[in-house]
Copies of this chain bind each other. A is one copy, B any other.
Amino acid sequence: MATHMALALKNSGVEVLQVYSRTFSSAEALASRIGCPAISELDELSGRADLYVISVSDDAIAGLVKHFPLKDKFLAHTSGTTGMEVLNAATSRAGVFYPLQTFSKEVAVDFGEVPLCLEAARDEDYRLLEQLAGRLSGTVAGVSSEERRQVHVAAVFACNFVNHMYAIAADLLEENHLSFDLLKPLVQETARKVMHTAPGSAQTGPARRNNREVIETHLRMLDANPGFREIYNFVSESIINRYKEDNKQGTE
């Protein structure tokens, strides 16, 4: 994420002063793309930045904050799950800059479409963050640490778990020497549909219709994949449960 964000900042005309990473070669690689110096020690951090962005894995944030060498600087992390208060060990000017998107090293991301969830302890810092975010994206939202955690859980369902469903589908097809290409129009249409229809209203499939016969057939077909079978079972029950009342009315 650090790479995508640093590039997006640079491209929007923001001056990136330095890049630091625990792995110096990573810092150098990114810095050379940005056209700024890489530093190998936190002590080399310039004191004249308006904002210090910490974009590392959740479990590495606290350690970095502990060794942050400057006082009273505006520090922001980019995590969905970690509270803003983790930064209080280094500063009273804490902030969060959380881009709600899935980042892969290889795939370029258009930040203009990425909702940016912002939070800051001080009003004037929030305004700076908002200004910065507005340069990158059309969607900027003030989101508290607690809300951000909720958004992140929701994103795990809507992105990470969705992708795992795709992966299971690809596996099942591959086992039968069929191509995932067959499903691509369906994948696109399923995502397209919820752009304008509430997902709860867009639901289709055997579980939506509480078609026990088809569900039982599918479960038997998944006998050789107990992990997938279990997911099929739990998700189907969850769908049946959600639409129980609808289906009762439908059969009356």
Measured between beta carbons, the chain B residues less than 8 angstroms from A102 are: 186, 189-190, 193, 204-205
Q: Which of B139, B150, B209 contacts A172 (CB 8 A)?
A: B150
| Contacts A153-B221, A205-B159 given; does A180 touch B167 at CB 8 Å | no
Interface stretch (choices A8-16, A124-132, A229-237)? A229-237
The number of residues on chain A lying at the interface, defined by a beta carbon within 8 Å of a beta carbon of chain B, is 93
Q: Is A156 an interface residue (CB 8 A)?
A: yes
* Nearest CB of B to A108, in Å: 11
Residue of B nearest to A198 (CB): B170
With the chains together, A171 CA to B203 CA distance in Å? 14
Measured between beta carbons, the chain B residues less than 8 angstroms from A81 are: 206, 214, 217-218
Q: Which of A187-230 contact B (CB under 8 A)?
A: 187-191, 193-195, 197-200, 202-209, 211, 213-214, 217-218, 221-222, 227-228, 230
With the chains together, A208 CA to B164 CA distance in Å? 10
Between A113, A154, A169, A178, the greatest number of chain B beta carbons within 10 A of the residue's beta carbon is seen for A154
Residue of B nearest to A137 (CB): B185
